[in-house]
Each structure stands twice: as C-alpha cells, then as structure tokens.
Amino acid sequence: MLVLFETPAGFALFKVLDEAKLENVEDLWKHFETPDVARKVVKLKAFSKFENTTEALGAATFLVKSKLSKGLRKFLKEQCEGETLAIADSKLGKIISDKLEINCIHNNAVMELIRGVRSQLGELIMGLAGQDMAPMSLGLSHSLSRYTLKFSPDKVDTMIVQAIGLLDDLDKELNTYAMRVREWYGWHFPELGKIIQDNIQYAKAVKLMGNRTNGSNLDFSGILAEEVESELKEAVVISMGTEVSDQDMVNIKALCDQVIALSEYRAQLFDYLRSRMNAIAPNLTVLVGELVGARLIAHAGSLINLAKHPASTVQILGAEKALFRALKTKSQTPKYGIIYHASLIGQAPPKLKGKISRVLAAKSALSIRCDALGETSNITIGVENRAKVEARLRQLEGRTLSKISGAAKGKAKLEAYDKDRKRGTPALLTAAKTYNPAADSTLEAPRPKDTLEQLPVKKKRHHEEVVDDKPVKVEEALEEPAKEKKKKKKKKRDSESIVEKELNITDDERENSVLPAERAKSAEDIIMKKKKSKKEVLVSAVKTEVIEEPLSKKTKSKGLSEHHIQEQQLKLEDLGSNGQQNVDDAVKKSKKRKETHLGVSSVDDVTVVEEKKKKKHKIAES
C-alpha cells in the first residue's frame, strides 16, 4: 500500500511497511511518537519536486478543486502501477481510479496515518528541514489566496463608493453656493434671476458682467443664447437694484469662481465614475445607468454584497424606512427604492412603474452577479436584459392602449357574452329587440258605463275588510255613493218638514228663509230635543252593557253570590240626580275607550264585539 502526501515542495509517496497496524486505528498514533518508530511503519518511496512557485500554485489550485494535474498524473503512472493508493481526498481518489485505473482507499485509518506522517515529515523526507518548510508554506498560501480571490486593481469597487458619495456632496454644495450667489447679486440686479435659470450660467454671467452698467456693452454669446442676451441687456437699462461697492463685487466674483470650479470638478468626477462603472459593473451600467448603479453598490457596501441580494431586495433598496413603516402600520409596502431613478422606469407611465421596477430589479440582479462573479467583462447580458425590459414595457403599454381603445389581439368572442347574436347579420353585435308594450307602466283609463265588468265589492264587518264573492255590476258600484248622498238629503228634508209642521211656517217665510227671533229659538229647541232623545237611547244601551259586563265578569271570575249582586244593583238605583251625571260621564268615557280600542263608531258594533268575547270565553271554559 502506498500513501500520497502533498507538501509545499512537491508530492511524496510513502510505502506502508506493516499494514496490520492500520487495523487498530485508536493506537495508530503511538507508532508515530518518535522518528525511529515511524520509520518502522512507513518509508519514503518517491518524491516529485516543484520547479518553481508557479508550478506549486497550479498544483495546489488543482488539489483545492479536487482535480488531477498533469504533473501528478505523470508521477502516479510511473510509481503506482499495480499498487493500492491511500489518499486524503475522496473526490480526487475517484478521479484517479477512473482515469488511471488505480485502486484508491479513503477511510479513518488512512486519515490517521496521514496525520502521523505529517507530524514526522521532516525526519521521514531527508533534505527537507522544518526551517525551509515554513516560508514555503507561507508563500504558497499567499499566492493561493490571491488566485482564489482573483485580486485585480480594476475590480476594486471602493473607489465607486467614495466617488458617488463625493458626487452627492458636491451637488449639495453647488446648490448652496449658487443660491447664495443669486441672493447676494440679486440686491444689485434682481431681474437677472428670472432671466437666467441655470445656476452655472448665472455665475458665469455675473463674473463676466460685474456691475450691471457694464452689461449693455459686453458680449455674452459664449455663455447665453441670443434671446436671453437681448433680454438681459434690456433689463440692465430699467433695473431697480441698489448700487454696490467695488469690494462687495470682488467677493461676489470670488464666490462665482467657487461655483464654476466646483461645477468643473463635478463634471470631471462624473467622467471618472463612468469609466470605473464601465470597468467594474458594465452590465449593470448598461441596464440602469452609472449613477443608479453606483448608488446601489454604495448602499450595499460592495459589488459582492449587492450580488448576494435577491431581486426583491434590489427593487426596494434605499426605501427601508418606508418598508418598515408599512410593515408596522400594515399598509402597502413600497414598490421601488433607488432603482426608481433608472431611465427605464422614468419612461414608464405612472400605473406601470411598479411592474417595470419589478422586472428591472430581476434583470439587474442577474447583471450584478455576472459582473461580480463572471470572468469576462462582456456587456452582452446587460444589453439582452435591457432589450427584454423594453419589450415588456412596450407590451404593457400596448395592453393598456388596447384596453382604452377597445382593440385587442385576435377577434373577440361575442357569442360568449351575448348568445342571442344573429349570425346572419354580422354587422349587429346583438339581436334586434322588439318593442314590448306590456312592460310600460300606464294609468288605467276610465271605464265606460255600458261595460258590465264584474268587480269584487269590499264590505266592513266587525272592523275588518271582507271581500264579497258575489259579482257586482259597474253601474251599481258607481251608484252607491250617490245613494248615500240622497239618504242624507232625505234626512235633512224630513227634519225640516217636522220643524215646519210644528212651527207653521208660511210660504213667504220659506222663500225668504227668514224667521222671527222667537220662532227661530223654538226651532232650535225642537232640534236639540230630538238630538237629546237620540243620545238618551244610546246612553241607556251603553249603561246596560257597562253594568252587566263587570257584574258578569266578577261573578264568573270571583264567583260572587246573588245577594251581593242585588246589593250592587240597589246602590246604582239609589243614585240621585247628583250621581246620574257621574254615571253619564263614566258611560261617555267607556264609550270613547271602546271606540278607540276597537275602531268602532256605533253602539251596535260594540254589542256584537262583546257577544263574540263572551262566546270565546265560554269556549275557553268548556
């Protein structure tokens, strides 16, 4: 059995002298306590030395990736024919067994054996001292780290983070200085602020002009357009500003120099940032632009950190406050953050900005990972992703336009919405509907008297409306109110005839409808007597009901004796003239109460209701 061992100086093959000792894994370390004992277990068979650091780095890189290098393949072919090879990496052992047809072993005993060989490596390999191994291991580890990290000065994203931070600070300072120039020079020439809107052009014009009286003689063609220049020269003549001293003008010009210098440095810094973004993240730059891409990298900290973020995080990066506020208040989360300032989202209409930001974030995440982890610096992925986003934007815009205009892809299936559509008339969307006169709400016309339609007649019975089943002619139904009026007129005539008979009214008095005062009073007395007689009849009927009802109820409910009933009747009979009035009042109140409760207007109806109550009471007792 042979053991493969890798060192910074080269590959070593050890021959296992006593394989029986590998069976006891727990006690195997005891055989490597001293160099003499270790020489009895393993012996160096062959050693392949690295020629230089590059070869050592290449071999180490292949081993880290569990791959078989050319030098190791050649070395094993020469030394391991027909032998069993103990190896530390199982993946590498599988590759060796497949390609070189060498039987490889990897188990706990092999790992313990390799650990013992490493402890006595300086004594087992002659000419390889420990003092030489330490610097070789350090140099190889540094080279391997640089190679694995792919260290390159072109890939340093720290410069982008610093540049975009400085660019934002310059923008703030420029705005502050420009507003200060406008306020300061505005006292001397206030009209200039409305004429020139751009801050840099304003500062250049103030520096060139100085005092406003010089403006009419100067040429501003290198700074301003012809229209703006002519407007400025007209405003110089009619300006309402105050005069300033020469010393004030010197300070104003110095501030203008600062604004112009800062603007020039900002332009230079922007060019530098553009070049760095094209070198470090070309695909991201093509997709979202230099400024937005640099802000995304600065917000994440580095390009590698940004590549670790999913597309959903890239979409809302920069809107963390709004996101957590929405989660706290359980409202809608933000749809975009820094990515909102990209040109593709700016082209989209307001309703589609959320959808486009989601699509753009997904494509940006792919481009970022390609820039951070890809070996090439091609911009093909960024160009393709931008084309896809633009196509998606056109698709969404076309869909909204089709919704607005009513056009859509293909022919609309109208049969699904209106089954009555006539196939023979393709110009009609729906079938022509006929007029339905029965659906109109019309008033009933007055019916002629000659028609004999049968109508149900309603009759009141015991405060209830009952419809008689017998058919009645229309003429009879119309003549009923006329008959009632005739009855009332007959009653009036009868009463008048009775009064005329008793008073012996002459024809002249009847025609003139004038009576003497004494005869008129007597006529009124006659009418009042008749009314009183009618009232007395009604009162007597009600009295009997009022007296009989409580007595009958008491006798039935309480079981009173006949003697007690007779006493109550005698008491009612003994009531004098004073008591009669009280009885009349009680009768009137009971009558009103009955009428209001039952809705009855006559005494006959009251009696009928009372009889019904008695019958119900008897049925309940039985």
pLDDT per residue as tens digits for the range 94-138: 888 888 888 888 888 888 888 888 888 878 887 676 666 777 788
Q: Considering the entire predicted model, what is its pTM?
A: 0.46
In the CATH hierarchy, which fold is given to the domain comprising 281-402?
A: Serum Albumin; Chain A, Domain 1 (1.10.246)
Q: How far apart are CA 173 and CA 238, in angstroms?
A: 33
State the pLDDT confidence band at 499, using cuts at 50, 70 and 90: low
State the pLDDT confidence band at 427, using cuts at 50, 70 and 90: very low
**Torsion angle defined by CA atoms of residues 128, 130, 132 and 135, in that order, rounded to the nearest 10 degrees:** 140
Look at residue 302 and tell me whether its pLDDT is greater than 60.
yes
Q: State the SS3 of 473-537.
A: CHHHHHHHHHHHHHHHHHHHHHHHHHHHHHHCCCHHHHHHCCCCHHHHHHHHHHHHHHHHHHHHH
Structure tokens that stand for 422 in this block? 């006539």
Check if the beta carbon of residue 78 is closer than 8 Å to that of residue 101: no
State the pLDDT confidence band at 183, using cuts at 50, 70 and 90: very high
Mean pLDDT is highest, among 57-66, 251-260, 446-455, 613-622, for 251-260
What is the pLDDT, as a whole number, of residue 168? 93
| Closest to 384 (Cα-Cα) out of 453, 283, 516 | 283
Look at residue 325 and tell me whether its pLDDT is greater than 90.
yes
Q: How far apart are CA 127 and CA 21, in angstroms?
A: 28
Q: Please give the CATH architecture assigned to the domain spanning 158-271.
A: Orthogonal Bundle (1.10)
What is the pLDDT, as a whole number, of residue 265? 95
Q: In 23-36, which positions are buried (b, 16+ CB within 10 angstroms) versus exposed (e)?
A: eeeeebeebbeeee
Higher pLDDT, 387 or 519: 387
Q: What is the CA radius of gyration of the chain?
A: 59
What is the pLDDT, as a whole number, of residue 509? 54
Look at residue 312 and tell me whether its pLDDT is greater than 90.
yes
Q: How far apart are CA 374 and CA 282, in angstroms?
A: 11
Q: Please give the CATH architecture assigned to the domain spanning 2-149.
A: 2-Layer Sandwich (3.30)
Higher pLDDT, 451 or 445: 445
